[in-house]
Amino acid sequence: MEPHLGPEAAALRHGWPALLLWVSVLSCSFSLPASSPPSLVPQVRTSYNFGRTFLGLDKCNACIGTSICKKFFKEEIRSDNRLASHLGLPPDFLLSYPANYSDDSKIWRPVEILRLVSKYQNEVSDRRICASASAPKTCSIERVLRKTERFQKWLQAKRLTPDLVQIFPGAEGWPLPKYLGSCGRFIVSTSTRPLQEFYDAPPDQVADLAYQLLGVLESLRSNDLNYFFYFTHIDADMFGVFNNGHLFIRDASAVGVIDKQEGSQEATGAGENKDIFSCLVSGCQAQLPSCDSISEKQSLVLVCQKLLPRLLQGRFPSPVQDDINSALAQCGDATRPDPEALGAASQLKDILRPLRTCDSRFAYRYPDCKYNDKF
């Protein structure tokens, strides 16, 4: 039976009316058995370490994509590395949680549990939804959103637009981790190590990661499907590295998508779009950017300013380091025209390519790099 679709899920299923597609908050319903009556006799009770309230199932009755709720409540997803179920809930203010996932409770593999927005942002949006209906501090989020004109239009739409990690799966070459499912306000995906853990890695490894990062931006900017992906902001937590050395986007919540094939239409926050959906976190004063205002170099400038210097500066002998620093300065200069910034990035890739080594530490391209200089 198809799961019930609440407002957030249906909005994603039926598509956003603008060209800017964003990862949205996911929520999924799940019924729990009634708690046992209190007893003076000590009882042995299994306690899972991801509860209904923690997951956000008490906020919205909605579901999108693959529901993974049963995995949580069967204790086949556990947050502690020791796989103990009695240690209680993890802190609720984090954006991501390392966890373990099992299909048989015998073999466990690492996964990552991600919030798509912070707990604080969720609380702000919940309050705004209730306030829009002149409701008290707590209300039925779904009931309020269902009454809006925009939601009714989404119900009539025929376009399918699920969340980003499902539209562009890693199995098809997109630089996103494998999506395993969603529950409440969380998604579960394959596990990666954050990029900042590699700031002090050996020079050949940082050269490899920097080279991959530039390649990821290039594929997001130019691809066969004619989509243009861009970052609204950048930090090292947004990128992760698998055990085989392959770099991926681990947090796509700050990624926007423009369908270049549809033309460059302008998305504004005016008129009918200025409803509670537009005002969940930042308020109705915030205006959506025009697609035309997003430059091709936007993501590249952010990466060259904030991430690549931490990886590359002071890691190589002169004159190679001087060439790297010069290319970084050019591609991180927001005042330069797009072609100059993109040219500097291409030059930087050419510098980094021979600094990488071909050995088993880089399993994602080994042993192919022995026989093909493409790797």
Per-residue tokens: 38: 């209190």
Q: What is the pLDDT of residue 365?
A: 94
The whole-angstrom separation of Cα 347 and Cα 327 is 7
* Least confident residue range of 9-23, 107-121, 138-152, 203-217: 9-23
Find the range with the poorest average confidence among 14-18, 112-116, 267-271, 335-339: 14-18
Question: Comparing 107 with 150, which gets the higher pLDDT?
Answer: 107
Average pLDDT over residues 318-345: 96
Q: Which domains does the chain have, with CATH numbers?
A: 56-81+91-190 (no CATH), 193-258+291-371 (1.10.510)
- Per residue in 14-68, pLDDT (tens digit) is 332 222 223 333 222 333 333 334 334 333 334 456 777 778 776 654 445 678 8
d(CA 253, CA 232): 9
Confidence of residue 268 (pLDDT cuts 50, 70, 90): very low
Alpha helices in 147-295 (DSSP H): 149-156, 164-167, 203-221
Using CA atoms, how far apart are residues 134 and 138, in angstroms rounded to an integer?
11
Give me the phi and psi of 144, to 5 degrees please: -65, -45
pLDDT of residue 328: 97
Is pLDDT above 70 for 78?
yes
Q: Lowest-pLDDT range, 12-21, 109-118, 365-374?
A: 12-21
Average pLDDT (272-282) is 58
User: 135 pLDDT exceeds 90?
Assistant: no
Question: Residue 298 pLDDT more than 70?
Answer: yes
Rounded-to-integer distance, Cα 249 and Cα 322, Å: 29
Place of tokens 């002149």: 134
Task: List, for residues 172-215, the tens digit of each pLDDT value.
Answer: 778 887 788 888 888 888 888 889 999 999 999 999 999 999 99
- Bridge partners of 78, per DSSP, are 100
User: Is pLDDT at 98 greater than 50 in this prediction?
Assistant: yes
Model pLDDT, residue 287: 55
Q: Are the C-beta atoms of residues 300 and 281 closer than 8 Å to each other? A: no
265 versus 350: the higher-pLDDT residue is 350
Number of Cβ within a 10 Å radius of residue 247: 22
What six digits make up the tokens of 271? 């008129």
Best-predicted range by mean pLDDT (8-17, 46-55, 234-243): 234-243
Q: Is 96 in a helix, a strand, or coil?
A: strand
Of 33 and 359, the structure prediction assigns the larger pLDDT to 359
Q: How many CA atoms lie within 13 A of 65 on its CB side?
A: 28
Lowest mean pLDDT among 64-78, 114-128, 149-163, 325-339: 149-163
**Tokens read off for 194:** 């954050």
Q: Is the pLDDT of residue 83 over 70?
A: no
CA distance linking residue 29 with residue 57, whole number of Å: 6
Selected residue with higher pLDDT from 149 and 212: 212
Mean pLDDT on 62-87 = 70
pLDDT number for residue 166: 65
Which of 176-180, 284-288, 354-358 shows the lowest per-residue confidence on average (mean pLDDT)?
284-288
